[in-house]
Chains A and B, each alone.
Chain A
């Protein structure tokens, strides 16, 4: 048998903090990310998602037409997830992405300036208000971007790209540190 033992550790555990008065980059806890895909013809399941997510304080983030992420800080118990997926059927299907995607938070008054170096999305608060989400390229990496506070963004990225994106964001932030 091989001596190699895979160890589950947070994707960004080894990264050094990037923080100053103007900008802060922080890995978010690897809690729960569920990908919800609506059946074709079922475009308006937002009320259903809200009714399932609100009581448990989960956030619902639009991804693209008919697709959403349900996000939570804490890992979700298997039983709870199973009942949530059952409640979505038959109008939509849920897929557990908790270990497949990583969340990064970038905040501070220079956060949108730093992000604008990597994405073409207009991040002005008038065009991209709190709660607004967009899937876009940040540099060469596709990522899901949400404004969660006036000066804070949450980025959801595929786990395999998380370290690269972190390094890119750290470099983009250098002049504000």
Chain B
């Protein structure tokens, strides 16, 4: 099965070119409670359906991207550069 991942810079590429980091969570503030950090580091939801993940295009443009993917169907709804996502979050 060919799993294609759309890279916002390179277009459709096979998953072999990427490295998955995991869920794209919002990082707690530096001075947050230990419990918040524990959750951020160790606790993960395991949703059936839409999921935001960090992928690294290791063998391509070497950019971190955030892929919105369905864990059941592997349909990719969105894919954007992680820096753009961080910028748009900083604005809100």
Contact = CB atoms under 8 A, between A and B. Distances in A.
B14 A120 contact: yes
14 contacts: A64-B9, A64-B61, A65-B61, A120-B2, A120-B13, A120-B14, A134-B10, A135-B59, A135-B60, A135-B61, A136-B13, A137-B16, A137-B17, A142-B58
Interface in A54-85: 63-65
| Interface residue SS majority, chain A | strand
Interface in A117-138: 120-121, 134-137
Contact of A135 (B10, B12, B14, B16): B10
Contacts of B2: 120
Interface in B30-60: 58-60
B62 interface: yes
B63 interface: yes
A159 B60 CA distance: 17
Interface of B: 2, 4, 9-10, 12-14, 16-17, 58-63, 81
B17 A65 contact: no
Contact of A64 (B4, B12, B14, B60): B60
B63 to A, nearest CB: 6
Nearest to A143: B59
B9 A65 contact: yes
B60 A136 contact: yes
Contacts of B4: 120
A97 to B, nearest CB: 15
Contacts of B62: 64, 135
Contacts of A63: 61
Contacts of B9: 64-65
B10 A137 contact: no
Contacts of A136: 10, 13, 17, 59-60
A65 B59 contact: no
A29 to B, nearest CB: 26
Closest 10 CB pairs of A and B: A64-B61, A142-B59, A137-B59, A120-B14, A135-B60, A137-B17, A65-B9, A64-B62, A120-B13, A135-B61
A135 B61 CA distance: 6
A65 B16 contact: no
Nearest to A63: B61
A63 B61 CA distance: 7
Contacts of B59: 135-137, 142
Contacts of B10: 64, 134-136
